[in-house]
Amino acid sequence: MKKIVVIGEGHFGTAIATVLAHNGYEVTLWCYEAEIANMINQGHSNSKYFPDIKLNKNIKATNNLLDAIKDSEYIFVAIPVKFLRLVIEKLKPDIKSTQVIVCLSKGIEQDTLLFPTQIVQEILPNTQIAVISGPSFAKELVEQKLTGVNLATQVEGHYSNLQATLKNDYVKIKKTKDLLGLEICGALKNVLTIGIGIAQGAHFADNTIAYLFTKCLAEMGLLLHALGGQKETAYDLAGVGDLVLCAFGKSSRNLWFGQEIGKGKKLDDILKNNVTVEGLNTLQSVKQLSTKLNINLPFCNAVYNIVFEDGNIDSILKGL
């Protein structure tokens, strides 16, 4: 049986570990916090992220990164992009070219403007990579709700093996060849969700929000085209599917953050309780990317102006 490792004990890392464990695999879950590793091993729970949910006994946790990846066929990486480079650098001495890294992280590295697979390839140029992205709230995966995601692999033969490893009665896998496109959509949907949240928090009409949503899709297509992805990916699970989930679902922190801004709250006041909002770093990176590539992303620019420059919500969004 394959040895599978998941790096990252957060919401999505724990969720993908439960999917793999449900499928009968022995899963090693690397935890940054030793306390969480002990909690999982001793009580089969991760109460920091999933209170009151018992985890599958096929999940074994560890705090030792290099021990975790030893002899593993697949390494699923589900950590915030801002920590990705540091962790991948630590893997460098021991990782083998036969091991496949499956990127689940979503975002853009701020200093380099690189996407997750580009960071991995820069550090580990001989490592094989795959990407999974799509509308998949972690809690609903743990609860075994029907979920569909896109999967892209560098090597054609890896697709069928990974699909067989992941799919079951509630997880459906759809193939795409647009590996970079999945990452572009996964990063941008967090920014766009903040913008939709702002409009909701400011009590814009449903008609207006629907209009703004079409702007979101158009800008996703523009960025895909500019960076070498396929524009069609914007209309797949990782594009419009994930955007619909995050912009109109009930569990998106990016949406909640946008709604708070839309209600008139200030950035510093929202973040003073150490709230983590994935899309904030990406929003700054998208602003830099659009300037660097000389492409016009008016909705993304509007969100940036409202969040970071205290712009007037009504005049900016209605100005679109």
DSSP sequence for 84-143? HHHHHHHHTTT--TT-EEEE---S--TTT---HHHHHHHH-TT-EEEEEESS--HHHHHT
Q: How far apart are CA 37 and CA 23, in angstroms?
A: 21
DSSP sequence for 8-44? --SHHHHHHHHHHHHTT--EEEE-SSHHHHHHHHHHS
249, with CB counted inside 10 A (0-12, 13-18, 19+), is middle
Judged by DSSP in three states, 148 sits in: strand
The single residue listed with the structure tokens 């030793």 is 34
Q: Is 189 one of the catalytic residues? A: yes
CA atoms within 13 A on the CB side of 48: 17
Q: Classify residue 56 by its DSSP letter.
A: P
Which of 189, 215, 263, 292 is labelled catalytic? 189
Query: What count of residues does the chain have?
Result: 320
> Contact 244/189 with Cβ under 8 angstroms?
no
Three-state helix/strand/coil letters over 166-207: HCCCCEEEEECCCHHHHHHHHHHHHHHHHHHHHHHHCCCCHH
Kindly list the catalytic residues: 189
